[in-house]
Amino acid sequence: MSPMPGSRGGYFISFLGLVSTLFLQPGWLEGVMDKIWQGTMEAVRLIIRLDPEMMGIVGLSLLVSGSAVLIAGLLGIPLGTYLGLVPARRVRWVSKLVYTLMGLPPVVAGLFLYLILSSQGPLGVLDLLFTPTAMIIAQTLLAVPIITGLTMVAVREKKREIRETAVTLGASGATVAWTVIREARPAITGAVVAGFGRVIAEVGAVMLVGGNIEGYTRVMTTAIVLETRRGNFESAIGLGLILLLLAFFVNSFLYHLQGTVDAE
């Protein structure tokens, strides 16, 4: 008897049945672990051999995501600082917009940019579609709200802590603003780290505007999607592990930078 629609008990029973079927199916765990092991060996093989195709994909991934985060930082940090220093009531609608865009789905950003850069779009004459430049623009659109929003929150919180003391000591408005920015530097660095984490794992937007062209616009995430669709799960897992390793090293550097700033 099928569960009644809206019946929590019925859905729970169905869930238990699904879990029981999964765990009672012979060999499923061994199959999954075998694919993970084969994927790990594939990752080790690619790293040891310094596979040219893999190195090209890694290099393009770093170029695209690094450029996007750099541009987003140059745009988002000043904007977030300004929004954090201005009284919240004066920029409440801008703040709401920034918070909304922090959750912007990558495919939506990619679709919006695709329509603009397509041959029928207003910027079609630039012929940027399916190029690394378009991918950088797409990831920048995703990273700017993250860096702006987190910077704004960090500056706003520090301003509450510092402003009263600074004003009591006779500091000018410019001095207060500069002090707030200096004190908020570790959190601002954290905003950049979050922005990088957002774009390095992104696939929807770069797939739409980049096209996943071999040797030209193929990055780690789009390569993983391609290998998965081909059924090459070991290669997909291997590339995924390399992506995690790459993100770990980059974020470790940024974390070290954040600690250095915090110690100053």
| 3-state percent breakdown (helix, strand, coil) of the chain, nearest 5 | 80, 0, 20
For the chain, give the mean pLDDT. 83
Is the pLDDT at 93 greater than 80, yes or no? yes
The reply to whether 91 falls in a domain is yes
Mean pLDDT, rounded, for 184-205: 89
Is the pLDDT at 109 greater than 90, yes or no? yes
DSSP string, 237-252: HHHHHHHHHHHHHHHH
- Among 171, 175, 184, which Cα is nearest to 77's? 184
pLDDT score for 129: 93
The reply to whether 3 falls in a domain is no
104 token code pair: 């912007």
Beta-strand (E) ranges in 28-72? none
Q: Which residues contact 34 (CB under 8 A, 6 or more apart)?
A: none
Residue-range definition of the domain harbouring residue 124? 31-263
Is the pLDDT at 134 greater than 80, yes or no? yes
Quote the crossing angle between the two packed helices 220-230 and 52-85, to the nearest 10°. 130
Q: Which residue has the higher pLDDT, 136 or 2?
A: 136
What confidence tens digit (pLDDT) does each residue in 232-244 have? 888 888 888 888 8
Is the pLDDT at 22 greater than 60, yes or no? no
- Among 251, 232, 231, which Cα is nearest to 243's? 251
pLDDT score for 258: 64
- Among 47, 48, 69, which Cα is nearest to 58's? 47
Q: Fill in the amino acid letter for 202.
A: E
Q: Which residue has the higher pLDDT, 1 or 182?
A: 182
198 token code pair: 């957002």
220 token code pair: 């780690």
Is the pLDDT at 220 greater than 80, yes or no? yes
The reply to whether 53 falls in a domain is yes
The reply to whether 1 falls in a domain is no
Mean pLDDT, rounded, for 23-28: 60
The reply to whether 133 falls in a domain is yes
Is the pLDDT at 127 greater than 80, yes or no? yes
pLDDT score for 25: 61
Q: Which residue has the higher pLDDT, 216 or 171?
A: 216
The reply to whether 45 falls in a domain is yes
Banded pLDDT at 28 (limits 50, 70, 90): low
What confidence tens digit (pLDDT) does each residue in 142-161 have? 999 999 999 999 888 877 77
pLDDT score for 16: 62
Mean pLDDT, rounded, for 78-102: 91
Banded pLDDT at 66 (limits 50, 70, 90): very high
pLDDT score for 24: 57
pLDDT score for 1: 45
| Percent of the chain scoring above 70 in pLDDT | 81
Is the pLDDT at 194 greater than 50, yes or no? yes
The reply to whether 60 falls in a domain is yes
pLDDT score for 17: 63
Report the number of distinct structural domains present in the chain.
1
The reply to whether 9 falls in a domain is no
pLDDT score for 7: 53
Residue 220's CATH number: 1.10.3720.10
What pTM value is reported for the model? 0.81
Mean pLDDT, rounded, for 203-216: 91
Residues 215, 56: contact at Cβ < 8 Å? yes
Banded pLDDT at 52 (limits 50, 70, 90): confident
